[in-house]
């Protein structure tokens, strides 16, 4: 079945450094969504990318969708301690309703 | 945050006992989902519903059943709990099909099966 792979699994950075997490699918995705989960919290929707090559920005966060629509990335510029958490990508899976398949996430820790 | 309430928030029970988790929403969203989250596995879909009495299986549905008799309530039942079902369970809702609309998650239920 379809798989969504996410790397790295963990990332430790010094506050102020940049951070990037990558998401790769075994099949072409119609779209991809990104979520953030703070420690002890629930996943929170960040953004959805639909178009090939699409780039979207939210303040210090930049999201990209690959030209082939099989990969995506999230880049955070100048990390802050508030960025701590696990970042998940999710692409469309199988089934009649096309449900989301989540990557295993990248856990980001930021050292002040 | 979306109006989603999961109950109970924490539960400890013994192997072989039945367990029911409840998800209640006040958003009148059509789609509801149950996920489990385990270390190293991320979020995995157990069952979902696309309307009252309309449900379907997800990736890890064995050992679980669901019911949706009202738009606002989606129940997840473990008929005979096993230790492998120890996990954090999240309910999510979306206004349209999950691949096309954001999903909004509840606060989760931490379930321990001893």
The tens digit of pLDDT for each residue in B3-21 reads 999 999 999 999 999 999 9
Are A33 and B105 inside 8 Å of each other by CB? no
Nearest CA-CA distance, residue B12 and chain A, Å: 18
pLDDT of residue A1: 67
A10 touching chain B per CB within 8 A: no
Q: For residues B92-105, give the mean pLDDT.
A: 85
- Can you read off the two tokens belonging to residue A87? 């970042």
pLDDT at B98 over 90: no
Torsion angle, CA of A23/A25/A28/A30, rounded to 10 degrees? Answer: -50
Cβ contacts below 8 Å, chain A against chain B, sum to 66
- Report the Cα–Cα distance between both ends of chain A, in Å, rounded: 41
pLDDT of residue A94: 47
Average pLDDT, chain B: 94
Substitution target from B1, B10, B32, B42 for chain A, most A beta carbons within 10 A = B42
pLDDT of residue B41: 86
For A29, the closest chain B residue by CA position comes to: B99
For each of chain A's 112 residues, which pLDDT tens digit applies? 678 999 999 999 999 999 999 999 988 888 899 999 999 999 999 999 999 999 999 999 999 999 999 999 999 999 999 999 999 999 875 444 568 889 999 999 999 9
CA B114/CA B97 separation, integer angstroms: 36
Query: Smallest Cβ distance to B103: which of A6, A45, A101?
Result: A45
């Amino acid at each position: 079945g379809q798989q969504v792979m996410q790397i790295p699994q963990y990332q430790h950075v010094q506050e102020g450094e940049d951070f990037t997490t990558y998401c790769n699918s075994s099949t072409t995705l119609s779209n991809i969504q990104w979520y953030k989960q703070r420690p002890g919290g629930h996943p929170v929707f960040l953004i959805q990318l639909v178009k090939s090559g699409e780039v979207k920005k939210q303040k210090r966060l930049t999201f990209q969708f690959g030209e082939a629509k099989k990969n995506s990335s999230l880049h955070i510029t100048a990390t802050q301690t508030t960025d701590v958490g696990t970042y998940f990508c999710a692409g469309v899976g199988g089934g009649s309703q096309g449900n989301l398949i989540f990557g295993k996430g990248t856990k980001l820790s930021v050292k002040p | 945050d979306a109006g989603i309430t999961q109950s109970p928030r924490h539960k400890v029970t013994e192997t072989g006992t039945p367990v029911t988790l409840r998800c209640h929403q006040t958003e009148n969203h059509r789609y509801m989902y149950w996920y489990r989250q385990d270390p190293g596995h991320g979020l995995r879909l157990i069952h979902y519903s696309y309307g009252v009495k309309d449900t379907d299986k997800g990736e890890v549905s064995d050992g679980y059943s669901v019911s949706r008799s009202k738009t606002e309530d989606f129940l997840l039942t473990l008929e005979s709990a096993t230790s492998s079902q120890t996990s954090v369970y999240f309910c999510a809702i979306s206004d349209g099909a999950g691949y096309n609309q954001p999903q909004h998650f509840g606060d989760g239920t931490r379930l321990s099966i001893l």
